[in-house]
Amino acid sequence: MYSQYKLPYSYDALEPLIDALTMETHYSKHHAAYTKNLNDAAEKAGVNKEIGALLSSLEEIPDAALRQAIRNNGGGFYNHNLYFSTMAPGAGGEPSGAFGKLLEGTFGSFSAFQEQLSGLAVARFGSGWAWLSANRGGELLLSSSPNQDNPLMEGAGYTPILGIDVWEHAYYLKYKNLRADYVKAFFGVIDWAAVAGNYEAVKGGQ
């Protein structure tokens, strides 16, 4: 049984950057549906692995339709758990400490990192995600994926630690066609302490 991440803040807590109606619809409709559909498909397929392990071994599901259902809905489940858990009211800004130094060392500066990740988010055609990922060796990687895919499915050993949802349901009510404005706003709600915690968990080989 896969359980939806419980929001520790209210739907209006990220206003005005992310509006309350978008948050409510996104969490209580879209994310809830991915969760229900994952549980239904996992039951039919007889799988019950930890979600990261499941998404890293989709090829082991023999039935093609169930494999695709678990890819789509398991991805949606996992990706949104990550998304909602790396946003917080009063967050944003730049990460401090060791993780802030790591971003600077890897990308040159925080603004260069933001520019590269934002570029991937804005350029992703159609629905998908832009990612900051890490591997067990502690290396960082920027990428983007279509649909509800994510780096776990690519088998290169990278686990996402921050994701920007660029499906229209994530921004259209407030930002309409202006995806770049939403991406800029998203940087104002990133909980860098949560992202740094995700990084340490991946680096520790969890």
> Which residues of the chain form contacts with Mn ion (CB under 5 A)?
165, 167, 170
In the bound complex, what is the minimum distance in angstroms from residue 147's beta carbon to Mn ion?
11
Q: Which is nearer to Mn ion, 172 or 187 (CB)?
A: 172
Closest approach of Mn ion to the CB of residue 163, in Å: 10
Alpha carbon of 97 to those of 104, 193, 197, 206: distances in Å? 11, 10, 12, 22
Least separation in angstroms between residue 114's CB and Mn ion is 21
List alpha helices for 12-96, DSSP H: 20-25, 32-45, 51-55, 64-85
Block residue for tokens 């990612």: 131
Between CA 106 and CA 161 the distance in angstroms is 15
Whose Cβ is closer to Mn ion: residue 38's or residue 170's?
Answer: 170
Nearest distance, CB of residue 38 and Mn ion, angstroms: 14
Nearer CB in complex with Mn ion: 13/47: 13
SS3 75: helix
- Going by C-beta distance under 8 Å and a sequence separation of 6 or more, which residues neighbour residue 5? 31, 80, 81, 84, 85
Judged by CB, which is closer to Mn ion: 165, or 191? 165
